[in-house]
Amino acid sequence: MSGFLVTLSVQMLRFDVHHEFNSASDQRLYGAHLLGRDDLPVAGELKWKSGAIRCEPAEPTATALCVEVDAGGMGRLMLQTCLLKQRDEPYLLFLELARHRIKQYIVKSEEWQLFDPTLSGESLKRWEHARTLFVRAMNEVDFSKAETFAKDSLIAGLDANEQLALLHAELLVKRRFGHKPSTSTVIGVRVDPRSDIKVCGDTAKILDVLMLPTPWKLIEPSQGEFRFQEMDRWMAFAAQTKRPIVAGPLLRFDKRTLPPWMEPAKKDFSMCVDRSYSFMEKVVHRYRDVVTMWNLGSGLHANEHFEFTDEQMMDLTRRASVLTRQSRHGARTLIELTELFCDHISSRPGALTPWQYLERLSQEGIHFDAVGVQMCFGGAVEGTAMRDLMQVSAVLDRFLAFDCKVMVSAFGVPSRQVDPKCGWWREPWSEQLQAVWTSRFVTIALSKPFIETVIWERLIDEGEDASGLLFENGKAKSVFAKLLAIRKRLRKPLANPKQKSAAANETENDETRTGAPSVE
């Protein structure tokens, strides 16, 4: 009997790269992951081999790659391709990244009704330039030249997208605050309870809202032994200065927050519930008369350290909600979401995306008054890979599908480049760039009708963390003055002719402005 040779072809995505990922560090592909329909994470393996990124999705369906790359003058950013069919022939990475940006501009222009050249202005010209370069890259037979054209197309496309996002934000901010001022709680800051009030108290009381975390490791270092000294000082300070207090998260199951004695509860949900409820009860009953809003839980959906099923996530959230509402009539509550871009969700068993978690909360009828979102970038912590401003605006737009108020419960970037792997926007981080990025971000955030408050992620620098409003010695950074200027600008309607003229003058002197809003 004659034998037959059967060849099995393994379908995958392969992206050829000529200039990028030359160092051994880059080839580890920090944070790279795969996406499916609706930009939801999918499981799969990624590795660098022989000048190419090889992706093996768990399912044989169209898949997108999300990877951090050097985008020239736009920064070092986490970017994605379009959904691509799995095949043996390799794709050109920068060509596919550019294709996605050209497509995203079209989608958002139509969604925001800004495809009219008289409205889109310079952004449309940059998009046309990106498209021209993209065509040249498609037609170029030399691989190295094709990659250069594709990268230039990507940079132009990113610039066009950011200009469009800022233009859209400017229009909505003028419409929202044109004839009425902002609320009195527009700018806040997150305060580490261990911070010295003498050093940073004067700065904290100037802002509208104080968010005080309740780190379990700090408050209950040993089981049954509670230490409230640091929390008491800041709670009393906030009460004396009459600042609204957002306290919590009451529940957060990551290594930085949990005390060591909680580790045995990692595999015992009943033990986890009992110990968690005991901690929450102590904190809530102690501060129920001074806290304005309780943060029930942060990142419960992400399974960052403890692994919960979705039913267990709902159980913990429900218990925290009932406890806080029973502690004081009319107590307001917040659910905090982390990792909006789902960078690591696919690698964690049982984890839910923020959108799946919100949908489950709605189905279960669990009460909360607002959703908090963390949008911190450029740090060394997981989930803080740098994103451009169009990605920020687009991910916030996803909350339009949910009938809820949203608070940006933590946002920020560092004032210096701590680690090159952390990414940056436009250029490596500096104090001035931190302030410029902040003005852009706040304008985009406050252009969304469901967002009324934004909270800076850290009051004062600590060690390698340079994302504070103050240096470690208590000296204010430029970003603090920028936030105060934005708040002052929004305290009165933007339609005021004198204010409008002043804003126009400032815009003319701002060399970094590419469609930035007059709210600055």
Domain-wise residue ranges, the chain:
13-174, 183-491
Q: Is the dihedral of CA 401, 404, 405, 409 positive or negative?
A: negative
Backbone angles phi, psi at 484, to 5 degrees: -65, -40
Place of tokens 């950074």: 477
38 by DSSP, 3-state: which? helix
pLDDT at position 507 is 44
6 by Cβ neighbours in 10 Å (0-12 / 13-18 / 19+) ranks as exposed
3-state secondary structure of 54: strand
Q: What does the block give as tokens for 69? A: 């790359």
CB within 8 A of 99, min separation 6: which ones?
A: 81, 82, 134
Rounded to 5°, angle at Cα 229 from 224 and 234: 130
**pLDDT of res. 23:** 52
Helix (H) or strand (E) holding 279: helix 269-287
Low-confidence ranges of the chain (pLDDT < 70): 1-11, 19-28, 496-520
Percent of the chain scoring above 70 in pLDDT = 91
Encoded amino acid at 479, one letter:
V
Q: CA-to-CA distance for 425 and 285, rounded, in angstroms?
A: 43
> What tokens does 430 get?
């500096």
Residues 6+ positions from 504 with CB-CB distance below 8 Å = 518
Q: What are phi and psi of 150, to 5 degrees?
A: -65, -40
Per-residue pLDDT at 496: 62
- Three-state DSSP class for 378? coil
Residue linked to tokens 């690591």? 344
Residue 412 β-bridge partners: 376
Cα–Cα distance list, 99 to 66, 117, 154 (Å): 13, 21, 8
Residues 97 and 414 sit within 8 Å (Cβ to Cβ):
no
State the average pLDDT for the chain. Answer: 88
pLDDT at 502: 37
Measured between alpha carbons, how far is 208 from 347 in angstroms, rounded to an integer?
38
Euclidean distance between the first and the last CA atom of the chain, given in angstroms as a whole number: 82
Three-state SS at 295: strand
Name the nearest CA neighbour of 282 among 329, 246, 234, 327: 327
User: Are the C-beta atoms of 177 and 499 separated by less than 8 Å?
Assistant: no
On whether the 183-491 domain is CATH 3.20.20.80, my answer is: yes
Q: Dump pLDDT digits (tens) for 412-452.
A: 999 998 877 778 999 999 999 999 999 999 999 999 999 99
Burial 324-358 (b: 16+ CB within 10 A, else e): bbebeeebbbbbbbbbbbbbbbbebeebbbbbebb
* 79 φ, ψ (degrees, to nearest 5): -130, 160
Strands 13-16 and 52-57: antiparallel
